[in-house]
Every structure is written in structure tokens, then in C-alpha cells.
Amino acid sequence: ESVQKLITLYFEQLTRGCGHENCTNYDCANGKSKRMEPSQAAAIALLLAAKGTSKLCKRSALPESQLKTDGSITNFWTKWSSLLQRSVCKNTVNTSLSAKHTSDQLTRYDSDGRPEACPFSNLDDALHWIPGRDDLCVPSIPLTASVKPARDPSSPKLLICHDMMGGYQKDRFVQGHSLFEDYYFYHWALIEGFIYFSHQFLSIPPPGWINAAHRNGKVALGTMITEWKDGATLCAELLSSKESVVQLAQQMVTMALYYHFDGWLVNIENHINSALMDNLFTFLSLLTTGMHNALPWSKVIWYDSVTVDGNLKWQNALNKMNQPFFELCDGIFLNYLWKVPLLYATATFAGHRRGDVYVGIDVFGRKCYGDGGYNTNKALAVIKQASLSAAVFAPGWVYETQPKTQFFHNQDKFWLLLEPYCPVGEPHALPMVSSFSRGCGEMMFVDGVLVHLGHWSNLSAQDLQPSFFSTMLRNDVKCGVHLESCSVDNSVAYYGGSSLRISGKLMTLKSNLPASLRYISTAVRGQLDD
């Protein structure tokens, strides 16, 4: 009840403003006492209460009596209680929010007042973007130094490119949503990085994806794409001068820094006038160099599309027609219509950088090797034999085409087929913690206490996920319990929406023999104390 009063007090002050011209507190900083929109005020009121600190002007505080009788408070709880309930878990509150918000803050909200991530649809919007006006969409989980990926150009790796239903579906909601049914990815240990893809000019990964990737030690990349006739027009405008090329490269680096993601996939799928190709090479060089200077572990990946003469002609291999792009970037994402002989030719051509060649696999199987779906492992197997990396495109096929009520079963089936051909994930450094949450649930727990009954989904609340899958139950040490199953249980949790249910049989009556479960790979050597 006291927390509710505190949140209500903050909300009232934020929506009223205090009217003090020179006041530097939170509501006054919002345009010198201008009123906040209720949706924004509700989210910030919740955040301030969660932090237990007030940046509001104390002179505008409401008297205790008004807290109990003011009709606007009742209206507030009626209208915004569902929003606040969706934000109970502290992982769903964006703790990077600060007093930098101004009256011209550009975070977008839906009709229900929910903040949402969005792409840049054109060049003009990208060039005129200013950081600091979309803090609600800034992720809160950094990629820690202990798990930042090392650069090894010869080692095979695996990326996934998340192209699902045009992008920016329910995952766009910064504070999550109230539906359990959604696409979730949790096999992070099997991949190097995650690419967020849509058919908009610049796709910024929603913060939930960035938080989940970073918590599991993986890079998250955005996408720059131009396509067909409209794309050719945009490229002609962009590449018409060195100034616009320099400006966009700088903007894209700044976007990555502001939104805390780790690089870009560059996909130019339209013809480019040969006279403009030098400016395209300049752009790639500036973008890659700028990203490396800002984030040494960052990646810029070129998609196999335009050739050195500006023609749109997919090569399905690395060769002299796309080599200059490869040399200016951290890697190349090959088109999907390759044949096995092209893989070996590519490996030879790439030399010591063969691990920087990501061979595309379309899970929808559009004329690609193995026909995709649950046969995606066949394509991955031959790619591994050629010592090349792979990029799995549209793994959301599992959610889009298979029964949604069986999603988690089908997701595990799909990735267990790929696991034998995936590189071993990097170990995690201590300390670390996990409550085994996948970022969703049928109820929500905080410190073992049920705080919300009902479906919820928020990738920002996803915990550290397993390093092992098919070998999780391998009984390779002397144990007192023979483990038979390990599954995620949505009926009870300590924190979040799920827990780990482990079943087995006692092998001995001695109580000092442990049960061994291979869950997380760590950098620790030797034995830990009981």
C-alpha cells in the first residue's frame, strides 16, 4: 500500500509539474515544469519508486489527505494498473532511464501507452536522429568484458538472423506484453551472435533482444537494408556525396553506442551506379573502422548481393566479385543458393579468414541445400565439413509454421538437431547467477513470492541459459542420483516465470554423494567445495 502511494505521488507530480521556473528536479527538468504524458509518467513513476529515490520537486508534493481522495488517482490506477503489473519484475524496468528526458523526447507509444522500439524507415530520419531522446528504448544489460567474443578469423562460428513476420512484432514492446505465446530464443550457447532483421532501412534491435543476448555473452547486430527500386533511389541519394556517406556512418556508430548493440549487417539488394561504388567502399570502411574504435568486439557483416561493378548479382560464394566488400568488413553473409563445390572453393579463396565467411541457410528452405526446416542440420553439416561459418536465416520458422502450443518442444527439437554442428560456446566467468527464466511465464515470482498471476512475456527478464543441451544429463562423475530428466517448469519459480525441474533415482543411501548436472560452462578449473 505504501509503495502504491509512492508511485501515485510520483505520477501526480509528473503529470502536474511544479511550476518553479528554475527548479532542477525531475518534473521541472521535463521542459521547466511542463506536464508529462500519462503513459510516460506512469513508467517513470514506477521506476523512481523501484529505485527508492526521488528526483521530484518536494515543494509540489501532494498532502496525505489528497492522496486518499483525489479522483485523478483512482483514474490513474484504473487506466494504468495493467501497465504497472506488466512491469513488476525489476528486470522489466529499464534502469538506464535517467533525468536526460526532455519535452521533445521521441520514444514512440502505442494506443495503450506502451513504449515500443521502432526502426528508421528512410535516410532523412537516420541523418537527423539525435541521441538522448529515446532513453526508454535503451537496454540495461552491457556485454561484460568477461564474455566479449574474441576475434579468430579461422574458427567456424554460427550467427542467427531473426527475420520473422516483417520484424517488430510483440518483441517491440520495451516493457514486454501480457501474452505467453511468442517466439523465444534461448539456445544462446550454440551461437556467436544475433542479427535483428526487418525490411526497414535501419533496424535497431529491440532492447529485449539486446538484453537477452548480452546476458548470455553474445553480440547483437542491427541491419541496414536497401531493396529494389526504392532502395536504388535511397542509395543514389546516400552515395551522391562524401559528406552524406561520412554522416551516415557516424550516425550508425552513434546509434550502436546509444542503443547498446554491437554492429551491423549491411544488405544492399539493388543496383548501384558504378560511378558511386567508390563512395560505397568509403562508407563500409568508415562504418567498420568507426565501430571498431567505439566497440573493439563489434562486427560489420556484408551480405552477398551487389558486386564490385554495382550489379545486383548474388554470388553464393566468396570470389573476386565480392572480395573487396569482404576485406572492408568483419565478414560476409553468403546468399543461400550455394552448392557444395562452391563451399570448398570459398574456403580456399578465403584462406586464413575462412571463419569470417558465414554461409547462409534459409530455414524456410527456399531452393536451398537440405530444404530447410528440420533438415537445416544437413546444410550445417556440409558447411562445417568445409570449415566455414554459417548464418541461419529466419529460425522463427519454428514459431511461424509449427503448432504454437508445441513451440518449446519444437524449438528444442530444431536446435538439438543443429547442436552437433555448432561450435562450443565460450565459458562464462564467475560470479554468475541464473533463475532459469526464459523471459516469460504463466505467473511471476520475485524472491520466491508470487507477485503476478497471469501470462507475461519480456525478453529483458530472460536469465542466463544452459551451455549444454543433449549432454546436460551425462552422468560422467560419481553421483548419488541417476538423473533422468531436466525440464523447465512454469508452475513455480524463485525469480521470473519458471524454474528447473530435475528428476532422477537415488543410487545410494549415502547423503554425501552429489547429483551432477551439466548446465553452465565456466572458466573455473578444478573442483568446487560442496
DSSP for 131-168, please give it: TTS-GGGS-S----GGGPPPP-TTS--EEEEE--TTS-
Alpha-carbon span 290 to 295, nearest angstrom: 8
Instruction: Report pLDDT for 176.
Output: 86
Domain-ending residue, one of 115, 132, 151:
115
The CATH number of the domain holding residue 364 is 3.20.20.80
Higher-pLDDT residue of 79 and 120 is 120
Question: Is residue 176 a part of any domain in this protein?
Answer: no
- Tell me how many domains the chain contains: 3
Question: Is residue 120 a part of any domain in this protein?
Answer: no
What does the pLDDT average to over 327-340?
97
The CATH number of the domain holding residue 520 is 2.60.120.260
Tell me, yes or no, whether 342 and 487 share the same domain.
no
Higher-pLDDT residue of 501 and 32 is 501
Q: What is the DSSP letter of 197?
A: -
pLDDT tens digit sequence for 239-258: 999 999 999 999 999 999 99
Torsion angles phi and psi, residue 84, rounded to 5:
-70, -35
Instruction: Report pLDDT for 267.
Output: 98
What does the pLDDT average to over 403-422?
93
Question: Is residue 517 a part of any domain in this protein?
Answer: yes
Examine the pLDDT at 83 and tell me if it is beyond 60. no
Domain-ending residue, one of 421, 437, 453:
421
Instruction: Report pLDDT for 159.
Output: 97
Tell me, yes or no, whether 197 and 64 share the same domain.
no
Question: Is residue 141 a part of any domain in this protein?
Answer: no
Tell me, yes or no, whether 470 and 389 share the same domain.
no
Tell me, yes or no, whether 268 and 396 share the same domain.
yes
Tell me, yes or no, whether 327 and 213 share the same domain.
yes
Domain-ending residue, one of 394, 421, 448:
421
Question: Is residue 144 a part of any domain in this protein?
Answer: no
Tell me, yes or no, whether 386 and 497 share the same domain.
no
Question: Is residue 284 a part of any domain in this protein?
Answer: yes
- pLDDT range class, residue 219, cuts 50, 70, 90: very high
HSE at residue 424, side-chain half, CA atoms within 13 A, is 6
What does the pLDDT average to over 228-246?
95
Tell me, yes or no, whether 322 and 401 share the same domain.
yes
Higher-pLDDT residue of 36 and 109 is 109
Question: Is residue 142 a part of any domain in this protein?
Answer: no
pTM of the model: 0.77
Check if the beta carbon of residue 433 is closer than 8 Å to that of residue 403.
no
What does the pLDDT average to over 148-165?
80
Tell me, yes or no, whether 460 and 355 share the same domain.
no
Tell me, yes or no, whether 402 and 512 share the same domain.
no
pLDDT tens digit sequence for 348-402: 999 999 999 999 999 999 889 999 999 999 999 999 999 999 999 999 999 999 9
Domain enclosing residue 486, as ranges: 428-530
Tell me the Cα Rg of the chain. 25
Examine the pLDDT at 424 and tell me if it is beyond 90. no
Examine the pLDDT at 290 and tell me if it is beyond 60. yes
Tell me, yes or no, whether 343 and 263 share the same domain.
yes
Mean residue pLDDT of the chain comes to: 80
CA dist 264 to 140, 194, 306, Å?
Answer: 20, 10, 17
Tell me, yes or no, whether 192 and 86 share the same domain.
no
What does the pLDDT average to over 458-470?
81
Task: Look up residue 498 and give its amino acid.
Answer: S
Instruction: Report pLDDT for 246.
Output: 94
Question: Is residue 146 a part of any domain in this protein?
Answer: no
Q: 454: part of which helix (H) or strand (E)?
A: strand 449-457
Tell me, yes or no, whether 417 and 433 share the same domain.
no
What does the pLDDT average to over 485-508?
83
